Amino acid sequence: MHDSKLEDIRNATSFKSGKLPVRYLGVPLVTKKLTEKDCAPLLKKLKAKLHSWPNRNLSYEGRLQLIKYVLFSLANFWCRQLVMPKSVGNRIEQTCNRFFWRGNGTASRGARVGWGQVCTLTSEGGLGLKNIGCWNRANLLMLIQNILTQNDSLWVVWLNAHVFKDASY
């Protein structure tokens, strides 16, 4: 776009020019593969939630509910938008594991049950938590379904115009 036209748009809308990555609804908009550095705000937010709770007085059930409905909700929002690096998923699960067993962010030595067992269905003897890596892949399948069904969302239109460029997914 020509600089004069860009300047006219800026003057008319009062928008500022920026560069990627920017954040939209807390999620970074990046054009390349997401890195652990891009996910630092998510990890920081999870840890801030843990430190804000009076976790010394919570039972295992109370901690489980907080992990299920607060911490995983934050992670789920990111999982539905982006391909999360495996290391970030591992750090999220490590944070949840430490909080569940110890009630704080310290290492959970002597955990009674492995985290893999905790993340199985309740009908299979687990506690019903989701494995972040598997959940992220499942959500990505929903994004692929949107591409294949030619969903008219802005994201799919942009992908077809700028990424695929008349090629089939």
Dig out the tokens for 24 from the structure: 């939209």
Dig out the tokens for 36 from the structure: 């652990």
In degrees and rounded to multiples of 5, residue 29 shows phi and psi of -95, 105
In degrees and rounded to multiples of 5, residue 126 shows phi and psi of -95, -165
Our count of domains for the chain comes to: 1
Is residue 23's pLDDT more than 60?
Answer: yes
Predicted confidence (pLDDT) per residue in 88-111, tens digit: 999 999 888 888 887 766 665 666
Instruction: Provide the 10 A C-beta neighbour count for residue 124.
Output: 8
CA 105-54-73 angle, to 5 degrees, is: 70
Is residue 36's pLDDT more than 70?
Answer: yes
Question: How confident is the model at residue 87, as a pLDDT?
Answer: 92
Predicted confidence (pLDDT) per residue in 43-71, tens digit: 998 888 887 776 567 888 888 898 888 88
CA 19-165-158 angle, to 5 degrees, is: 45
Residues in the chain, overall count: 169
pLDDT interval class at 157 (50, 70, 90): confident
Q: Smallest Cα–Cα separation from 94: which of 85, 106, 84?
A: 106
Q: Is residue 101 part of a domain?
A: yes
pTM above 0.85, yes or no: no
Q: Is residue 169 part of a domain?
A: no
Contact 34, 85 (CB under 8 A): yes
Dig out the tokens for 9 from the structure: 């748009």
Question: How confident is the model at residue 146, as a pLDDT?
Answer: 83
| Site of tokens 């985290």 | 115
Question: How confident is the model at residue 111, as a pLDDT?
Answer: 61
Q: Is residue 95 part of a domain?
A: yes
Q: Is residue 85 part of a domain?
A: yes
- What is the domain extent for residue 73? 3-164
